[in-house]
Amino acid sequence: MKHSLSHINVASKPRRRPASTYLRFALACLIAACVFPSDVSAVNIARGTRRAVVLTTDVGAEMDDQWTLAHLLVAPELDLRGVVTTHAPGLDTPAAETTARVAREVLERIPHRGSTPVFAGSSVPLADERTPRTNPGVRFLIEESRHFDAGRRLAVLVTGAATDVASALLVDPSLAGRIEIVAMGFDEWQHGGDSWNIKNDRAAWRVMLASRAPLVIGNAAVTRRDLAMTRVRAREMFAAHGTTGDFLVRLLERWLDRDPAFTRQVTGQPDTWVIWDEVTTAYLLGMTRADVRPRPRLRDDLSFEHDLRARRKLLWVTSVDAPRLWRHFMKYLSCAKNSERNLKRKKQSAKAAMA
Ligand SMILES: [Ca+2]
């Protein structure tokens, strides 16, 4: 059963530091110049109609989470309500505090509307499939979800370990009726398997697979094929897009320079990495195709136990329209660049007026 997916949904809101006059001005420019472009007519982005999103992320473990967070921030169709950070191997302890610091650094670098709260989630995986790990991230997920229902679901992106989403489902099972989970993980459909997100909390994935929450999965085989990015291509596409573009390109370059042998092992090329987590943004923007499939069970070795008669289904992403996704990202990075420039000009004018 093949489905072409092109849903774009709705909502809005900001917070944290009060926006300065300059930021408000920049925001007005951003809205005037970018939020109502003529060529996104298929997308309803009127105020209050953007798709509400919470990102859960192990940002800092690689570089694709930073790209994904930046795209979520500049996409006018999306309303990022908050970020919940999680653990991954190799991070300074406590891991969720480390990832929260990285998320805040990204937020400070990207001009965007309003402000986005960051909550450190769990720094360790679930002990078992019955016991939640409560923390501010889990509480935020549950509270934020109360504004939503089955007809208008909060999108919860899982781009790291699923510990906090699973904990929230264990604390409040009714959450499954108010969210849609969009995750990056698993190697491929037949075997399943995984080397990172699922491996980092297997019990959490069992909780999510057993829940009633709609579940969308973008797997490694598809993202490796469709979302590979070379150093040269990144520079060509993003370097002209202000400090944010430069920042994103530098992140990729630093990652590629870090361990070329490992990069070659994963992607087959020493100068290519995969922007894995962007598959979740692509889904939200209606730039993926996916099949409805019976929800598998997860074995201890992370392989799938398929049950063709399973009552619960999931959406399995089969392709990403990457050219369209990158065009969208570049377009709204340009808008961010313009708002950056307007902000700078306004600051200079104010300074001159005070002199
Ligand atoms: Ca990630």
Ligand 1 centroid to Cα of residue 24, in Å, is 31
Bridge pairing between strands 228-230 and 272-274:
antiparallel
Ligand 1 centroid to Cα of residue 304, in Å, is 21
With both helix axes pointing from N to C terminus, report the angle between 242-258 and 64-74 in degrees, rounded to the nearest 10. 160
Ligand 1 centroid to Cα of residue 116, in Å, is 18
pLDDT-derived band at 240 (thresholds 50, 70, 90) equals confident
Q: With b meaning 16 or more CB within 10 Å and e meaning fewer, what string describes 207-244? A: bbbbbebbbbbbbbebbbebbbbebeebeebbeebbeb
Domains and CATH numbers, the chain: 2-227+275-354 (3.90.245.10)
> Which protein residues have their CB within 5 A of the ion that is ligand 1?
58, 65, 159-160, 277
Residue 8 has pLDDT above 80, yes or no: no
Residue 291's beta-bridge partner residues?
Answer: 2, 316
Torsion sign (Cα): 301, 302, 308, 310: positive
pLDDT of residue 168: 98
Ligand 1 centroid to Cα of residue 199, in Å, is 12
Ligand 1 centroid to Cα of residue 332, in Å, is 22
Ligand 1 centroid to Cα of residue 105, in Å, is 16
User: What does the pLDDT look like over 109-167, one tens digit per residue?
Assistant: 988 878 899 999 999 999 999 999 999 999 999 999 999 999 999 999 999 999 999 99
Tell me the whole-structure pTM to 2 decimals. Answer: 0.85
Report d(CA 155, CA 158) in Å as an integer. 10
Cα 229 to the chain's mean position, in Å? Answer: 17
